[in-house]
Homo-oligomer: A and B are copies of this chain.
Amino acid sequence: MLAQEIKNRLRQIVGAQQFRDDNEALVAHSYDGTPMLQSLPEGVIYPETTKQVSEIMSVLAAHRIPLVSRGSGSNLCGGTVPVEGGVVMVMHRMNRIVDVDLENLTATVQPGLITAEFIAHIESLGLFYPPDPSSMRISTIGGNIAECSGGLRGLKYGTTKDYVLGLEAVLANGEIIRTGGKLMKDVAGYDLTKLLIGSEGTLAIITEATLKLVPPPKSKKTMIAMYKDLYGAARTVSRIIESQIIPATLEIMDNPTIRVVDDFAKLGLPRDMEAILLIEQDGEPEAVERDIDHIRHICLSELADRVTVAESREHAEKLMTARRSAFTALARLRPTTILEDATVPRSKIADMVLKINQIARKYDVSIATFGHAGDGNLHPTATTDARDSAEVHRVEKAFEEIFEAAIELGGTITGEHGVGLVKAPFLEWKLGKAGIEVMRGIKQAFDPDHILNPGKIFAKETRKRVVIQRE
């Protein structure tokens, strides 16, 4: 437990109301969006300024007290569960848009700003901020940066890392650093901006970000294609890219997902299809027409059973509903939903989906797969029950094999959700011992006493590889 003296000091910094150690606050911040993980913090603090964050860190560093910074905690990797206790720092009060600079096409924001609110404001100014994680209605920009969040528009527009030009951050010792700026180019020293993006709160606390804005596309079209042959869908994905069309969105749902989504959303989806592709293109009106027409031809030549191009905005929304409701639909099947994000080169999508189905059968668990086909970023999603420890164990074994299969296909254990607690035991599979050692050295440079989000990314023990032993 935190000493009374430390609590008093923290209350002095933020005001009495903004530090809490009542049970309600502790329990509310003991978990995040990840199922089956919970650990009580010793206090919850709500800073309002960078100066306060800096002062808080000075106090915590002096006593080596762990600190977990978080936004809405919507991550899916256990990234903000305070496994070593200490203080949880909630950034929601630091939620201002500091400025939108129309001349430089940048926005400077505080980390606690809700992503969707930011996007809405930017769009009201006639501009565009592409990263659109599925959690964007609750997630914060700071959380998106900490996790390097992706989204449905990632294929064409990239992910969060492609839109952060500069950061202000507080180090473990309370010092404040500034990286980058309203600059499209800056090679003064190591790229600390990109290093902090996706570092999951283990290196520093992000207190401000300068983001790049872009002109919005002038038009958009949406289409859907349904396949009885999974490989037909996968070949369609590859052929679209090979024909040098980069769609704004290129999503896939497999048969188990289609069935569940249709049960839920009553869209009248044909339940005998092995895969559905959801495709959007945006840009100049003429180019969008040409691309959608070309894509339609590719779909048909790969024996798509049905191809529908949306005739109106409402029609397009209805088509996209199928994909957007996938997680919700799956989540209502069983008490516990585990959403993963193994990622492969896009040419390997069909192999990966089939491999996932095969692994699910081997372990007798339910896994439905959907995701960003254009990126090779798949979301195999297990529906299970946390109270059935035998089944949960089988699910875990299945995911181990899925991660292994992804790496074997030239992929990675996480495309956009982060490592956190959940994937830490598998990180060495991707990076090797030497890579992990380098990362440990970087951690040491930023946070020598390991007080920032301790227990995350670095596993106490790397899981043994079961199936495939390379080298």
User: Which residues of A are in contact with B by a Cβ distance under 8 Å?
Assistant: 101-106, 126-127, 147-148, 150, 154-155, 159, 161-162, 171, 175-179, 181-192, 194-195, 197-199, 203, 214-216, 238, 241-242, 244-246, 283-284, 286-287, 343-347, 372, 374-377, 410-419, 423, 427, 430-432, 434-436, 438-442, 444-446, 457
Contact = CB atoms under 8 A, between A and B. Distances in A.
A181 B441 contact: no
A183 B431 contact: no
A176 B246 CA distance: 34
Contacts of A198: 187, 190-191
A103 B241 contact: yes
Most buried by B among A183, A242, A439: A183
A341 to B, nearest CB: 9
A461 B468 CA distance: 52
Contacts of A215: 244-246
B179 A416 contact: no
Contact of A162 (B162, B374, B411, B415): B162
Given A104-B346, A175-B434, A188 B284 contact: no
A195 B188 contact: no
A184 B435 contact: no
A190 B411 contact: no
B245 A188 contact: no
A363 to B, nearest CB: 23
Contacts of A203: 190
A190 B195 contact: yes
B181 A345 contact: yes
Contacts of A154: 184-185
Contacts of A101: 345, 347
25 contacts: A101-B347, A103-B347, A150-B185, A159-B185, A177-B432, A177-B434, A178-B432, A182-B345, A183-B415, A185-B343, A185-B372, A185-B375, A185-B415, A186-B412, A186-B414, A187-B414, A189-B419, A189-B439, A190-B195, A190-B199, A214-B246, A215-B244, A441-B441, A441-B445, A444-B445
Contacts of A242: 102-103
A164 to B, nearest CB: 11
B343 A431 contact: no
A446 B441 CA distance: 7
A247 B287 CA distance: 18
A177 B343 contact: no
Residue among A127, A374, A430 with most chain B CB within 10 A: A430
Contacts of A161: 191, 194
A104 B188 contact: no
B417 A187 contact: yes
A150 to B, nearest CB: 6
Given A284-B283, A442-B445, A188 B423 contact: yes
Given A194-B191, A194-B195, A104 B347 contact: yes
B192 A104 contact: no
